[in-house]
Copies of this chain bind each other. A is one copy, B any other.
Amino acid sequence: MRRVYLDHSATTPVDPEVASLMMTYYTEKYGNPSSIHSFGQEAREALEKAREQVAGFIGAQPAEITFTSGGTEADNLAILGAAEAYKDKGKHLITTAVEHHAILETFEFLAKNGYELTVLPVDEEGLLSVDGVQRAIRPDTILLSVMHANNEVGAIQPVAEIGRLAREKGVIFHVDAVQSLGKIPVNVNDLNVDMLTVSSHKIYGPKGVGALYVRKGIRLVPRVYGGGQEKKRRSGTENTPGIIGFGKACELAQARMADEAAKLTGLRDRLMDGILERIDFVKVNGPRGAKRLPNNVNVSVQYVEGESLLLSLDMVGIAASSGSACTSGSLDPSHVLLAMGMPHEIAHGSLRFSLGRQNTEEDVDYVLEQLPKIVERLRRMSPLFDQMQREAGAK
């Protein structure tokens, strides 16, 4: 059976070049970078080269990069580390309603432990208002965190403007760039950020590796204690093969980004337009055009439920994801779709296709061939579709 992976926002395959480089560091150059012998030193050199590659990709200095076990840990370190370091300056924090759980849950932990939290709303496209940010900033605000691009609906926030504002007001500005890295330009200076989170497994690097950019001069209280690795910001034997893989993945992404973004944008629009053409009662979630990640398609298919769609797609080899509650084990559907003002019943039928490096027009056309049949079959089973048609007929 044809297998079409369209869930690159969840995770990506490791690029073969990255994987084979990692192999060398797993089996041959396996030294501990803290060791002074040549096994250790060759690992250390490669580790520092990776730091340069990551830093270079986001316009940072190598010394400003702290490697972590992933985007989640980097988000936690940024939020908890800065909140603790600057607690004497103030206790007010700001974030948005559409952040990843790694940000939201972390802020909520702080909100339960002596901090005050403002969660900014978004409009129906998932976009933040710069004015709204401005109004939320108070004299005791110490930290503001806004994601660069949303993982569910692909909305790209006006981060550079928000950063300018934060800098004016002396508020530390953190950006979660996990989804934007490798898809649109991410530069810590252009975006006026103080801290920025990136994750390797979203850009064809290995899982279990991420990094936090921390602008020189920003203080952070560490979250992990031990051998004092990563300049005491993050103890633990360094995951050198993983980090080296991440570095290589950054180098490859940097070289390919412009071409890939153009190609992905084409596939994205072909898929989105094709769905709208072929299936009735479908709504596009998130902005269209330049304010949307080049690889994100998100639609709500009314009168059917997301998990059923995913299972049916999977049965014909198509891997996608959904904001349906049923895929997460919680009762509420995606907090992002709800924050955009979408009714629960429509949010349940949302479907995300996230395109990647390997995808082709044939992949897209295969989805366009399969999805209408699936939707039709599920709608035939759906008491809601039934009801809607009866009501429409009665009119």
Contacts and interface: CB of A to CB of B under 8 A. Distances in A.
A383 interface: no
5 contacts: A14-B26, A14-B30, A35-B321, A37-B313, A201-B237
One complex includes copies of this chain to the number of 2
Interface of A: 3, 5, 7, 10-14, 16, 19, 22-23, 26-28, 30-32, 34-40, 68-73, 75-76, 100-102, 105-106, 108-109, 199, 201, 206-209, 223-228, 235-242, 307, 310-311, 313-314, 318-321, 327
A30 B7 contact: no
A228 B14 contact: no
Given A207-B239, A208-B239, 9 more contacts: A3-B39, A7-B37, A10-B34, A10-B35, A36-B327, A37-B310, A69-B70, A72-B236, A206-B242
9 smallest CB-CB distances across A and B, nearest first, come from A208-B239, A69-B69, A72-B236, A102-B226, A105-B225, A37-B319, A14-B26, A72-B226, A11-B32
A321 to B, nearest CB: 6
A322 to B, nearest CB: 8
Contact of A207 (B7, B225, B240): B240
A7 B314 contact: no
B236 A73 contact: yes
A376 B241 CA distance: 38
Given A7-B35, A227-B72, A208 B242 contact: yes
Interface centre among A31, A109, A199 (most CB of B within 10 A): A31
A208 B239 CA distance: 5
